[in-house]
A and B are shown apart, each in its own frame.
Chain A
């Protein structure tokens, strides 16, 4: 990189509180929304975001502009359109959206207004994780400010456009971060993912065309409108342009959220003093999960990869949500996988057979390993169960456990064998986490 990367996502200092609007506007905030609504057509906004190549930051990496373009014209599907902001950030190891909403709620709001304008929506729903009460309050106050300043409401910027925002707090289910389960939950139903097709762009919330975008995706949009395609594409890689917030956690000297261009080296993120600043207590890394808990784990010898969608896919893992979990030599990979399995077992919605039964079975086998009662044949069984879950369900929650199982078992088989002979003293988990 010739010019140093200039952050544009995490630019506010400290926590946003009352007065966040003034501070946001001082930094040039809400200019992009005004410009989009008053000077651009919706098609021009979609074209701009398409050209910028902005990919979804929630995990799947689908191009945002292309997604917006899927919304059918009103003569094909009449009635309202909805923009839904997915702020149900629950992936273990990921805490970027929380930071965005906590420090700079207007950035996401502005991006949401531009996106809603682009797809012809007049209503924005923000589905925020139930365990983020402070962020929900900050967001609500920001919405109140935005209504007062004319960034929301009727007659937006003296045009005929109307924009309303409703904040909906989730009730604690991880599955409701999956976009179709989120819609069902928003409608008041049980958080069950829906079968696609129909895709939400055709039939989503209340059966109407709906676009669901992650908080960070929308936070990218104002800067693209303000500074243009060339600026955005000057960062990141050809296929993954732009910047990204990486949530670093685990055995690092400086865990936290760091904004960096896509394509940055994982080793740079881990060791550079501007980011993770190296392993905590100088114990060497054993493994790193690069994109949130559901992606395949990388061994210490596999860490020389670039952090973008295509490079990580080539390395057999995924960028996911960009939550980097670093683990040093003190970590027992069996306990890591057991912990993940308990999480996905607890969070499976129970709709599809392979996920409902497979997550529980996996967790129970790993509980035996955790109690040093593993068997050699369990390794093949774990991989078989993962195969029977992978790609066989409505939503990717089954895959989210199957991928870590496959990578942990194939990359660290000897650690599992250590749990077969009773070498390690039994660890007793808090009872509330126990697998039934």
Chain B
């Protein structure tokens, strides 16, 4: 544990801590472009200079480990002059097109220019001009903005191991490019847009869609697979505009996959059910929630009176949060005494493990682990088929389908027997054949609209924060609470995510000792799950 002095303040840091990180403990992190905590340091931008007593000139802080007895200054006049010099150099060929640049507002070249640059340029020679070009299906390059920090090439070398990008030419002619016929098309490619310190690498999906300072943001979790990458959800004018990864050393480090970023089109799909619908005699009406609840209550009562309590079935999905699953279990098992409660499985996707160890799970049920922990259920199409068989024999006459999923995957057997049901309530995110046959349609809330928690495939309980307003105020949790009330029960803990989670923690040993607040931004392992940060690099430092 070396002890050193930074700006007159003594600090002790773990062995091997880079000086730039040590500085961050007592003062602002020295300004930098090429250094990124998720990548190996390269030391090329020369911005993170500090003055180390006893060493000639200034030294970069991103490649030097903090050493015992070092006396470091981040504000020495030599340091300030060196930063000013680097800033001036970086801007001589820069197009200064911030007004039309996607990165403006979150550009560190812009930020450092304000803090360390000159007001005017002394450069009067011709600037180097380079045309924009396409680098692949999702990424384009504005080469004039590039400061050759090599974050992108290092990401593609170290994290994905695909090495699509390289520098060509030499000196100030150095040009970032792909190899002929080898576009950037790997599952993690959009991370290079995030880590690009300037607006050189551009996501075609986000291009010209919003100025970043107008974005609303919420820390949440990606629902595209069971991995649960930590993300920041960002919206512009009420529309989900961008997902960017949020660092979590236990789950995704600094990264997320392109699939996770781009699989949210369903949220704003015009065909998405947004109204509560009641169907009677082949006619549909948009109804308010109380009327729908009354219809469900009456329908259930009729079925239970005629065929007994066991004539009710339930189907849930892993898009329900732990809190929603807890209420669904209470509704279907405790209040209605349902004959069958099954979980629908999403079709598996492709598993992917990057060179660095970053994983995309083949399992596309985001809260599969929560389903298991809360209800003891496993998503299983066979169980759904058994449910369909019960409907066919008339053992089940009323079915509640809750949660929904972005791509409908109801087995044909279930759709075929749906018309035999006396009451079919379907809550879903997208239209489907089953939805068309429902007596009551309830719009489901999408993951960016939910307040609650998921458990990822490592057993980590992580919070979802709602960025958008769900179609039914209160979302799925509100609908379930209202249903419980309609049936004469009341949702525990007042029906909000915090209260329901507290009830869950009190009743379910896997959640023992956890509170919703304490999950924090990085989540907590559920009881019995391992809690171990993973190293950022596959091959060690």
**Residues in A lying within 8 Å of B, measured CB to CB:** 173, 175, 190, 195, 345-354, 356-361, 364-365, 367-368, 381, 387-389, 391-394, 436
Contact = CB atoms under 8 A, between A and B. Distances in A.
A84 B47 CA distance: 33
Interface string B79-96: 001100110111011000
B173 A352 contact: no
Interface in B59-94: 63, 81-82, 85-86, 88-90, 92-93
Contacts of A351: 44, 148
Contacts of B56: 391
Contact of A353 (B63, B128, B147, B169): B147
Contact of A356 (B47, B57, B125, B148): B148
B171 interface: yes
Given A356-B172, A392-B85, 7 more contacts: A348-B171, A368-B125, A388-B88, A389-B85, A391-B57, A392-B49, A393-B46
A388 B85 contact: yes
B123 A349 contact: no
Contacts of B147: 353
A353 B46 contact: yes
Nearest to B129: A436
A381 B46 contact: no
Interface in B121-173: 122-123, 125-126, 128, 147-148, 166-167, 169-173
A353 B171 contact: no
Interface residues of B, number: 34
26 contacts: A175-B170, A190-B167, A345-B172, A346-B171, A347-B170, A347-B171, A348-B170, A348-B171, A349-B170, A350-B148, A352-B44, A353-B86, A354-B86, A356-B174, A357-B90, A359-B171, A364-B126, A368-B125, A387-B81, A387-B85, A388-B85, A388-B86, A388-B88, A391-B56, A391-B58, A394-B43
Contact of A392 (B63, B82, B128): B82
Given A190-B167, A364-B125, A392-B85, A353 B172 contact: no
B171 A392 contact: no
B169 to A, nearest CB: 8
A12 B90 CA distance: 52
Interface of B: 43-47, 49, 56-58, 63, 81-82, 85-86, 88-90, 92-93, 122-123, 125-126, 128, 147-148, 166-167, 169-174
Contacts of A361: 89, 92, 123, 125
A391 B55 CA distance: 12
B125 A353 contact: no
Closest 7 CB pairs of A and B: A388-B85, A350-B174, A357-B89, A364-B125, A348-B171, A360-B172, A391-B57
Contacts of A387: 81, 85
A161 B86 CA distance: 50
Contacts of B174: 350, 356
A159 B265 CA distance: 74
Given A353-B44, A361-B123, A392-B57, A345 B171 contact: yes
Contacts of A392: 46, 49, 57-58, 82, 85-86
Interface centre among A346, A347, A351 (most CB of B within 10 A): A351
